[in-house]
Amino acid sequence: MCRSSSRSPGRTGGRPRSAAADAAILEATRAALVELGWSKLTMGDVAGRAGVAKTTLYRRWAGKNELVVDAVAVLFDELELPDRGSLMADIEGVVVQFAALLERPETKTALMAVIAESTRDEPLRERIRTSIVERQKRLVLAGRRRAQARGELPESPASAAGTDDLIFDVIAGAVVHRALVSAEPVDAEWVQRFTALLLGGLSAAART
């Protein structure tokens, strides 16, 4: 996750990295994102908030991009998919959760910024993929399997893996676009209309 994991693993002895400092830095980064946003966030400011020296930050993260990815990634692990009884209810539930997560200023401001930077930074893109994107596909996987167990979707349709990726891009993309680009509220009515659209497409695909 952070630079410390890329140190030579066979080493011994020496003063270990302070885990408390790691936590304080990531927390300070999120706080700074809330107050300052992306462009006005500085490494020196984060260091001051966390009560550590600026050099300590640079010993662990290469720069602002990597630091913010790690600070924000854990927020996405809050997403859950409890069994709400039907595929429709499950989808609506996760959409509402995701929209609420994107409403938080540290999330919305950081997510788009690091994605923008990742278009010119291949290692950063890979970091985002592994730390955020791939981890949350678990939600789609769980939802599909549960719907299959209920009989709402056919067992193992052709090329299920590609379908999971497609569903993920549609759900996450639509919610992000609605919330951040169109800048209109993800309210109950929109969620219901979107879910109905997606569900209609899924059942239509199941029929063929």
Give contact residues for DNA (rule: CB under 7 A).
Answer: 4, 7, 11-18, 21, 42-45, 51-56, 58-60, 63-64
Give the nearer residue to a second copy in terms of CB position, either 82 or 185: 185
Report in angstroms how near the CB of residue 37 gets to DNA at its nearest. Answer: 13
Q: What is the distance between the alpha carbons of residues 199 and 197, in angstroms, rounded to a whole number?
A: 6
Q: How many CB atoms lie within 10 A of CB 187?
A: 11
Report in angstroms how near the CB of residue 47 gets to a second copy at its nearest. Answer: 20
Report in angstroms how near the CB of residue 141 gets to a second copy at its nearest. Answer: 15
- 52 contacts which partner out of a second copy, DNA, none, CB within 5 to 8 A by kind? DNA
- 119 contacts which partner out of a second copy, DNA, none, CB within 5 to 8 A by kind? a second copy
Q: Which residue has the tokens 């590609």?
A: 162
Residues that bind a second copy (CB under 8 A): 37-39, 105, 108-113, 115-121, 125, 128-129, 133, 162-163, 165-166, 168-170, 172-178, 180-184, 189-190, 193-194, 196-205
Tokens of 98: 């995701």
- 94 contacts which partner out of a second copy, DNA, none, CB within 5 to 8 A by kind? none
Give the nearer residue to DNA in terms of CB position, either 53 or 116: 53
Give the nearer residue to DNA in terms of CB position, either 54 or 84: 54
